[in-house]
Structures are given as C-alpha cells and as structure tokens.
C-alpha cells in the first residue's frame, strides 16, 4: 500500500458528492428551473433531467422490448461554462460532480455544500436517507510492467497453470465498517498514453439510514466517508503507483 498524502496530479476523472432525500409530496420538480437566475454566473448551462420508462420480458413465450418513453421532469442539471462542475437538482436528491482536472477536496466540498444549501432551501427535504462520496480514478500504467502487483495491491489473479496474458478484468467488492459501506471496482481500460494501459479504480463510500441522517451532522459524516475513501485508494495502490501522480 502507499502512504497517504496529497497527490498534485491525482488520477481522479470524476469526484462526486451525493445526497438521497425524500421531498414533500407536493413539491414540483419544475421549481428547480427557477434556480437559473441565482446560478447563472457560475452555472450558465442548464437542462431538464427527464424520466425514461420502458420494459422488457417474456410475453406469450416470446421476448419483447418496450420502446423507451420520455416521461416527466425529474429535476434540472446545471453546468459551469467549461462543464467541469455539474450540479443535479432532482426530486430524489442532489449530486455535485467535479470532472478532470480535479482541484482539491476543500474546494470541491465547499462548492457542494454551498449548492446543497440552495437545494435544501428550495425543496425542504423531509428526510436525508443516504449520503455518499464517490471518486472515479483512472490509473495509466506502463505496459512494460512485469506484474500488476507492481502497481496494484489487489490485482487480478490468474491460476499459475493458465496463460498469464490478461486483456480484460473486472473486480467488485463491497466492504463494511460500522455504519459505512464501500463499493470498490477495478477494471482494465484503454489509455490515451502510448505504451500504457488504463485501470479504473472506482471507490463509492456511503452511509444510508432508514430513520434518516440529521442535517446538522451530515457534514461531519462526510468527513468520515472521505477518510475511508482515502484509506481505500492508498490501500489499493503501491508506492510505485503513487509516485506517478506526485
């Protein structure tokens, strides 16, 4: 595993802070469209997020697929001019995403908190049922490596009696610590760098509660999610990998 520290060129392609909520039954998602007046300076681009419905199955012993239909509006998506910051205001929750290039936790978290307060003020959620921190990383690793173990602490394993050349792999594990759950996905991907391969390291850390999460304590809970996310990231890579992104 690698030592935890700030990586100046972190391989983060998307950082996500997410809330799932229950809104009052009478709330109209069209009301989120009025936020364009308040957000126009930072988020000049916006579009509705619509609900798509469809179905597939077996009918009279024959498979069928129902053509997707466009339903009502679920919310609105607001984007910065460069489309690197994206905020989703939906009837089921709020999501803030920061795309590559990543800045730092403090600025991403501060922006998400500011936008959440706007969401909260506009919709008055009855319940916060789930919060999450998800970081999608793309590691560009040299093709000349001898083994994945040089760069990953939990690489794919091929039985010794079988050919060792790997062209695809996908692993997913779910771990738990107290009231926090984390999904960890590793997958082989293409790299834009010559003589490199890409490895996706997707870390989704969340806390869910049926009774709800108190809004006053939600920010300290995000600190716990971030701490676990960092442990997973640096625990999944070697020092050799970390040095690639310093």
pLDDT in tens, 212-246: 999 989 999 999 999 999 999 999 999 999 999 99
Residue 42: pLDDT band (50, 70, 90) is: very high
Q: Please give the model's pTM, rounded to 2 decimal places.
A: 0.90
pLDDT score at 67: 61
Mean pLDDT for all residues in the chain: 93
As a whole number of angstroms, the distance between CA 202 and CA 231 comes to: 13
pLDDT digits (tens, 9 = 90+) for 47-90: 999 875 545 667 666 675 666 555 689 999 999 999 999 999 99
pLDDT score at 11: 98
Cβ partners under 8 Å of residue 206, min gap 6? 18, 130, 131, 132, 133, 134, 180, 181, 182, 225
Tokens at 103, concatenated: 């800045």
Which range, of 122-136, 163-177, 227-241, averages the lowest pLDDT? 163-177
pLDDT score at 146: 82
β pairing state of 127-142 and 170-177: unpaired
Residue 165: pLDDT band (50, 70, 90) is: confident
């Amino acid at each position: 595993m690698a030592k935890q520290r700030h990586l100046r060129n972190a391989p983060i392609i998307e950082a996500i802070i997410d809330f799932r909520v229950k809104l009052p039954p009478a709330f109209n998602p069209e009301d989120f469209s009025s936020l364009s007046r308040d957000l126009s300076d930072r988020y000049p681009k916006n579009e509705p997020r619509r609900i798509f419905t469809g179905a597939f199955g077996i009918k009279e012993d024959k498979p069928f697929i129902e053509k997707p239909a466009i339903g009502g509006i679920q919310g609105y998506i607001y984007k910065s001019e460069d489309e690197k910051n994206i905020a989703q205001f939906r009837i089921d929750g709020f999501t803030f995403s920061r795309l590559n290039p990543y800045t730092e936790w403090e600025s991403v978290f501060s922006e998400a908190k500011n936008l959440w307060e706007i969401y909260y003020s506009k919709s008055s959620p009855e319940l916060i049922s789930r919060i999450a921190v998800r970081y999608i990383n793309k590691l560009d690793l040299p093709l000349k490596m001898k083994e994945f173990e040089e760069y990953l602490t939990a690489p794919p394993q091929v039985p010794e009696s079988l050919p060792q050349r790997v062209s695809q792999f996908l692993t997913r594990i779910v771990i738990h610590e107290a009231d926090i759950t984390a999904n960890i996905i590793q997958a082989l991907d293409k790299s834009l760098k010559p003589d490199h391969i890409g490895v996706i390291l997707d870390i989704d850390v969340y806390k869910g509660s049926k009774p709800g999460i108190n809004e006053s304590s939600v920010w300290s809970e995000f600190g716990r999610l971030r701490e676990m996310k960092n442990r997973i990231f640096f625990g999944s890579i070697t020092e050799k990998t970390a040095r690639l992104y310093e």
